[in-house]
Amino acid sequence: MENRRTNVVNDAELTWDSMGHGVGFHCRRKQLGRATGGRKLGCSLYELRPGKSAWPAHYHTANEEAIYILEGRGTLRLGAHSFPVARGDYIAVLAEPAGTHRLTNTSDGVLRYLCMSTMIEPEITVYPDSNKIGIFAGAAPGGPKEERTLAKSLRADAEVDYWENEE
């Protein structure tokens, strides 16, 4: 009989994905939930270098997130407030405008944390600082991109009448 650990993964077994944009955004990520076949609960291990954030400030309309700080220190913007965070802090991020969040490494060492999320789709993610929205269907943000049927970023003020171009 084959001994398989299909729902168990050690983070040392996974390689880091590296992503970023411009000067302020760069992270390394290991998608633990995806590696174990998780469908409704996502979990990623993140590392941020000093001065970096993984993502712009945003909130979700369908998915809740939780962040657990494993190592280091940073600043969490949550809603209209900013808070220092450090090893051992657990943060619940609700799916609402008051849940607008951005985590930034404001220390001179590595900030390492787990980010867990429900994986509900369709999902609309709102980026209030840049007046954008992201629309995801088929797979939630963080889910398998090959399963997405829709992934669009739009200006939030790009409204059209419901009946426009309908005959």
Q: Tell me the domains of the chain and their CATH numbers.
A: 25-120 (2.60.120.10)
The pTM of the full predicted model, rounded to 2 decimals, is 0.90
Nearest alpha carbon to residue 110 among 32, 22, 29, 50: 50
Which tens digits make up the pLDDT trace of 87-117?
999 999 999 999 999 999 999 999 999 999 9
The predicted pLDDT at position 21 comes to 94
Which tens digits make up the pLDDT trace of 4-58?
567 899 999 999 999 999 999 999 999 999 999 888 999 999 999 999 999 999 9
Nearest alpha carbon to residue 116 among 32, 59, 58: 32
- Does position 165 have pLDDT exceeding 60, yes or no? yes
Secondary structure element (H or E) that encloses residue 104, with its range: strand 101-104
Mean pLDDT value of segment 126-152:
92
Instruction: Give the chain's count of helices (H) and strands (E).
Output: 1, 13
- Per-residue pLDDT band for 163 (boundaries 50, 70, 90) equals confident
